[in-house]
Chain A
Amino acid sequence: NAGVMQNPRHLVRRRGQEARLRCSPMKGHSHVYWYRQLPEEGLKFMVYLQKENIIDESGMPKERFSAEFPKEGPSILRIQQVVRGDSAAYFCASSLRTGGSSYNEQFFGPGTRLTVL
């Protein structure tokens, strides 16, 4: 049973370019979350999506960042016109369900490490 998959694992972009990060949740999971881990900082929530819907984007910067989880295919986190401050590890997680149950557990992928030159 494959876990959460993310690609690419490493991504290098120059300032002003676009970065696209992809996440395939665990089989059967329909809830996807994106988190960012800046150097020397903890994991910070960015956005929570279900198929074709953004449920909570309270942690997403208002500009340049967007996320989607289409009916078919992986979830995409898109960063337009990247700046050096966007350099970080971006993690995707998925869960089977929500609410106070064991199916609420979030399982993380290996992350995409974005470097902006």
Chain B
Amino acid sequence: EDQVTQSPEALRLQEGESSSLNCSYTVSGLRGLFWYRQDPGKGPEFLFTLYSAGEEKEKERLKATLTKKESFLHITAPKPEDSATYLCAVQADGGATNKLIFGTGTLLAVQP
């Protein structure tokens, strides 16, 4: 069964303290791995898509990497406005479905 596990469940950082969030996945064939950010009471906001092992993408203080079993979201010198829940999702290859399978997220709190 396709599955996504995110760790840690919650992370508290001081402003400027870099860290990484982990997303481990099991999928029959990976079409894509997606990272989203979700603020309280809002919908997920798209961040990155990664398609193959070794791929990396960056956006401001965020950098996403992908291996055959997991993805990391690296946060460099975070600011309080980076506080949010970060969601990882995979899309399996094959068939007509395009559904995303989500992990339960990592709740990040960045303190000034």
Contact = CB atoms under 8 A, between A and B. Distances in A.
In this complex, the interface size class of chain B, counting residues with CB under 8 Å from chain A, is 20 to 34
Given A43-B87, A48-B98, A102 B103 contact: no
B43 A33 contact: no
A61 to B, nearest CB: 15
A48 B102 contact: no
Contacts of B34: 105-106
B32 A100 contact: yes
A48 B101 CA distance: 13
B32 A104 contact: yes
Interface in A82-111: 91, 93, 95, 98-100, 102, 104-111
B105 A91 contact: no
A104 B49 contact: yes
Nearest to B43: A108
Interface string B63-105: 0000000000000000000000001010101001111111111
Q: Tell which of A33, A42, A44, A102 has the most Cβ of chain B within 10 Å.
A: A42
A22 interface: no
A1 interface: no
A19 B27 CA distance: 34
Contact of B105 (A33, A42, A98, A109): A42
A59 B96 CA distance: 14
A106 B100 contact: yes
Contacts of B103: 42
Contacts of B104: 41-42
